[in-house]
Structure 1
């Protein structure tokens, strides 16, 4: 199984860098990152657009507590995209909506709360999406607008993207979260998985057609292990839980999405044999984190609890999100996997990113390291 290390410059760069980031290695094949997605990858777009509702607190402490700066990231610190950039010796990727940003090393189009499908799809099904939703269609338009403003021709854009790593998410999680949290049944939500998957893969195709040759398409997390789901869909029936005390049905749903996405990614790969198209298994990377929590330095008794929340078994209340009056924050976020019940801590994201790069939670099954060496 090829790992995401295949994307990076050399074996010597596989150890994470914690110093202040600088310009990329001069001769490294990858010199920029372009990212799409939701709150798992958003480095500040929603904050600049106007964070409201459950996202309102992300622009102030305790968000950003560990990095001592509330940047709009939905965590106490850095995200996986940040660790990918650091591992490539690139600057952290600035959000598209940041005025005066230096986009020479890439652009982040991800917006917290975003869906893969357009809001109209959910409106037809009486499922409410955030007013600030910037679905993949909007993020793709931002991407094209950016290219048009920085390239003089499609050929120049294509050459520019040849040296870029494209992260297609994580995206699609909110398509399901919005539906589940509003009472839609698993069977009903399952019915629109094909549309979500098709939108992700068709977006990847558009980026490839623009000239991209190195893409990562991430799968969904095991949502049945998240404090938000464990709280909102609590069951008194022990058979509803697996050996990790996660909700079986919701994890099965996540696996169904991932299976469909992997199959669609493989078809896309066959259509573009010269493009390196990797599926990043966020599900198994998270399970690696959960199953090895104590060895990795996390508090084994708090693996299903949010660091920041309003109490209860899992320290989560959808009506009283982290940062609002009445909530409190754990003293040491590095011991927790979950930050606010929905998003992970910096330490958990770091561990997951490291696992994705080093532990082989990526496909396809061939070694392509020589294509990416410096």
Structure 2
């Protein structure tokens, strides 16, 4: 059941989450059902791993200004500021989750294994299909290996690890977007051809979810993909004059239909995982629906309705995106107020957009089942 703010008094757990997400100080003495977060994924969740590996390609500039503009310093996040995972941590009264490759970090609040540019499928699988991969790409299989290495270094025994992980929240994704992005951006696969890869991508995500369950995970969130047809990058690359492919929001219907296809397959697999593991809380996070909710309520949420599909940071053009002149490189500039924009650099979102999506997931019923969401955020 979605909880609406206008429907009377909110449960304390939900109110606490909302206050935290809105930036209102609350007492840290409240105990939550989650005491750590372990995250796997790509640039939607990376809080600094790629920066420490050495960013290249699309991500070469994430370690320098204007990335981190709202935080007044670059952190390795592909945004002007915070990400969805950061708002999840805040809502759970946890410290922001440090990247695994920050060896001097305090991992008391969990570990983030997500890496910008990461794919679900291994490099070899994608290379065989002709998809070129960035040198620093870290697939899910490598991230789960990092996780096991972390456990080996911090748990005296398997029983101790299982006890430790029982109180943790696992974010398995968002992942899979780059498996498709690389093929689409390189122009080597059609939408129809890429549909053949969806079962492999979904299976890989499920395999990781099953693996962490085997290791002791009891609370898992598996997000779907965003509507890529609303991304300035896709709009810039694939919009055709006179085409009937744009919907009423200005997004590309064909690419959004592909993202929806991936999400439908993923939801079926998530339902199967839930039925096979009745003692584990498995939540599907509808990033697609939450993003569309943001667009449809943009003015209420404080976004500039005339610039919803235009990047804040870029080199000009209809969508302020140029694949050859990415945000942070010579010839680009960023908007004065990223909080009024949805897209940060044409591929990733602004802090304010991630905040709105996090709120939608917690408060507006875009994470299901709702009772499981309430249970996770019970403080």
Match for residue 16 of structure 2 among 13, 22, 26: 13
Query: RMSD of aligned C-alpha atoms?
Result: 2.0
Q: Establish whether residue 83 from structure 1 lines up as the match of residue 87 from structure 2.
A: yes
Q: Secondary structure at the match of 2:212?
A: helix
State the Cα deviation string for residues 187-225 of structure 1 (Å, max 9, x = none).
111111000000001100000110000000000000000
Q: Secondary structure at the match of 1:360?
A: coil
Q: Which residue of 2 aligns with 1:114?
A: 118
What 5-or-longer segments of structure 1 have no aligned partner?
none
Q: Which residue of 2 aligns with 1:221?
A: 226
Tell me how far apart the structure 1 counterparts of residues 103 and 246 of structure 2 sit (CA, whole Å). 47
Deviation at 1:28, TM superposition (A): 2.1
Q: Establish whether residue 171 from structure 1 lines up as the match of residue 150 from structure 2.
A: no
Q: Which residue of 2 aligns with 1:284?
A: 289
Tell me how far apart the structure 2 counterparts of residues 25 and 107 of structure 1 sit (CA, whole Å). 22
Q: Secondary structure at the match of 2:134?
A: coil
Spell out structure 1 runs of 4+ moving beyond 6 A: 18-24
Q: Which residue of 2 aligns with 1:298?
A: 303
Tell me how far apart the structure 2 counterparts of residues 369 and 335 of structure 1 sit (CA, whole Å). 30
Q: Which residue of 2 aligns with 1:65?
A: 69
Tell me how far apart the structure 2 counterparts of residues 24 and 49 of structure 1 sit (CA, whole Å). 34
Deviation at 1:295, TM superposition (A): 1.4
Tell me how far apart the structure 1 counterparts of residues 249 and 23 of structure 2 sit (CA, whole Å). 36
Q: Establish whether residue 158 from structure 1 lines up as the match of residue 162 from structure 2.
A: yes
Q: Establish whether residue 362 from structure 1 lines up as the match of residue 367 from structure 2.
A: yes
Q: Which residue of 2 aligns with 1:336?
A: 341
The question of whether the paired residues in 2 share the 8 Å contact of 1:57 and 1:323 is answered with: yes
Tell me how far apart the structure 2 counterparts of residues 84 and 97 of structure 1 sit (CA, whole Å). 21
Match for residue 311 of structure 1 among 308, 313, 316: 316
Tell me how far apart the structure 2 counterparts of residues 88 and 141 of structure 1 sit (CA, whole Å). 26
The question of whether the paired residues in 2 share the 8 Å contact of 1:186 and 1:253 is answered with: yes
Deviation at 1:26, TM superposition (A): 6.2
Match for residue 42 of structure 2 among 38, 43, 49: 38
Match for residue 149 of structure 1 among 153, 156, 167: 153
Q: Secondary structure at the match of 1:239?
A: coil
Tell me how far apart the structure 1 counterparts of residues 200 and 80 of structure 2 sit (CA, whole Å). 33
TM-score (normalizing by structure 2): 0.94
Deviation at 1:363, TM superposition (A): 1.5
Tell me how far apart the structure 1 counterparts of residues 375 and 142 of structure 2 sit (CA, whole Å). 35
Deviation at 1:366, TM superposition (A): 4.6
What 5-or-longer segments of structure 2 have no aligned partner?
4-10
Q: Secondary structure at the match of 2:220?
A: strand
Match for residue 271 of structure 1 among 258, 263, 276: 276
Instruction: Provide the aligned length of Structure 1 versus Structure 2.
Output: 371
Q: Secondary structure at the match of 2:38?
A: strand
Aligned residue runs from structure 1 range 46-65, under 5 A: 46-65=50-69
Q: Establish whether residue 101 from structure 1 lines up as the match of residue 105 from structure 2.
A: yes
Tell me how far apart the structure 1 counterparts of residues 147 and 50 of structure 2 sit (CA, whole Å). 16
Tell me how far apart the structure 2 counterparts of residues 98 and 171 of structure 1 sit (CA, whole Å). 22
State the Cα deviation string for residues 8-52 of structure 1 (Å, max 9, x = none).
982341224376999965632211100000000000000000011
Summarize the Cα distance change of 1:205–1:318 in structure 2 as closer, same or farther, 3 Å threshold.
same
Deviation at 1:367, TM superposition (A): 5.8
The question of whether the paired residues in 1 share the 8 Å contact of 2:41 and 2:115 is answered with: yes
Tell me how far apart the structure 2 counterparts of residues 313 and 154 of structure 1 sit (CA, whole Å). 55
Tell me how far apart the structure 2 counterparts of residues 162 and 9 of structure 1 sit (CA, whole Å). 23
Q: Secondary structure at the match of 1:192?
A: helix
Q: Which residue of 1 aligns with 2:215?
A: 210
Q: Secondary structure at the match of 2:71?
A: coil
Deviation at 1:312, TM superposition (A): 0.4
Tell me how far apart the structure 1 counterparts of residues 372 and 164 of structure 2 sit (CA, whole Å). 25
The question of whether the paired residues in 1 share the 8 Å contact of 2:311 and 2:346 is answered with: yes
Summarize the Cα distance change of 1:280–1:178 in structure 2 as closer, same or farther, 3 Å threshold.
same
Q: Establish whether residue 181 from structure 1 lines up as the match of residue 182 from structure 2.
A: no
Tell me how far apart the structure 1 counterparts of residues 120 and 261 of structure 2 sit (CA, whole Å). 17
Tell me how far apart the structure 1 counterparts of residues 172 and 28 of structure 2 sit (CA, whole Å). 21
